[in-house]
């Protein structure tokens, strides 16, 4: 699996516009964020570094995967100059649930996939798993969108936070980022 490093410090393609501690222990602020394959991540000092791996789907059915693919939005679109990185950690009680119980909360009650689909292809999204790789969070979710879809993104995030699933989130940070590349 490809492991990526999210490195906050003085360099990186993304300017960190804000770092908000939503719940639990916060993360310190920094000027910029670099997102690189962990294999080539520099060993230099950073404010912090979070790693995650792209892995197989854990809840999506074949029908849902088909819908997600039909609406797929790639990362790195030139107009997507806004991004958000939302690291979350779920409680032990979440992880002690059986697969059918987690699936029921995730989709049948919280409509997690259906909610994300509503905002495709405007809001691109990539999930990174980190619970099994000795990291402080369970997931890093990365979103990319054009500035004109900022309000839609707020709606999506608010929608997710209002779900039953989010009652199991015990630590959450919300980083907002801006790219100046397309403005050059």
Chain residues that interact with a copy of itself, rule: CB under 8 A: 1, 3, 53, 55-62, 64-65, 95-101, 103, 129, 131-134
CB of residue 179 to a copy of itself, shortest distance in Å: 28
Q: What share of the chain is helix, strand, coil (3-state, %, to 5)?
A: 30, 35, 35
Would you say 28 or 69 has its CB closer to a copy of itself?
69
Q: What distance in Å separates the CA atoms of residue 74 and residue 42, rounded to the nearest whole number?
A: 26
| DSSP label at residue 96 | T
C-alpha distances (whole Å) from 14 to each of 7, 27, 34, 176 are 10, 17, 7, 9
CB of residue 54 to a copy of itself, shortest distance in Å: 9
CB of residue 111 to a copy of itself, shortest distance in Å: 16
Lookup: tokens for 4:
């990526």
Beta bridge partners of 125: 143
Would you say 47 or 97 has its CB closer to a copy of itself?
97
CB of residue 73 to a copy of itself, shortest distance in Å: 20
Would you say 131 or 167 has its CB closer to a copy of itself?
131
Would you say 29 or 133 has its CB closer to a copy of itself?
133
């Amino acid at each position: 699996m490809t492991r990526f490093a999210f490195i906050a410090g003085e360099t990186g393609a993304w300017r960190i516009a804000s770092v908000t501690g939503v719940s639990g222990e916060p993360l310190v602020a920094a000027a910029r964020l670099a997102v690189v394959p962990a294999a080539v991540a520099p060993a230099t000092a950073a404010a912090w570094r979070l790693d995650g791996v792209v892995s197989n789907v854990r809840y999506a059915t074949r029908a849902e995967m088909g819908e997600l693919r039909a609406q797929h939005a790639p990362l790195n679109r030139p107009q997507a100059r806004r991004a958000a990185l939302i690291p979350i950690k779920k409680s032990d009680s979440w992880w002690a649930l059986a697969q059918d119980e987690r699936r029921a909360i995730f989709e049948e009650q919280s409509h997690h996939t259906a909610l994300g689909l509503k905002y495709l292809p405007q809001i691109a999204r990539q999930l990174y798993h980190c619970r099994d790789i000795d990291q402080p969070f369970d997931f890093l979710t990365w979103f990319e969108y054009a500035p004109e879809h900022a309000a839609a993104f707020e709606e999506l995030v608010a929608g997710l936070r209002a779900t039953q699933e989010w009652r199991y989130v015990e630590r959450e940070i919300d980083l907002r980022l801006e790219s100046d590349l397309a403005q050059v």
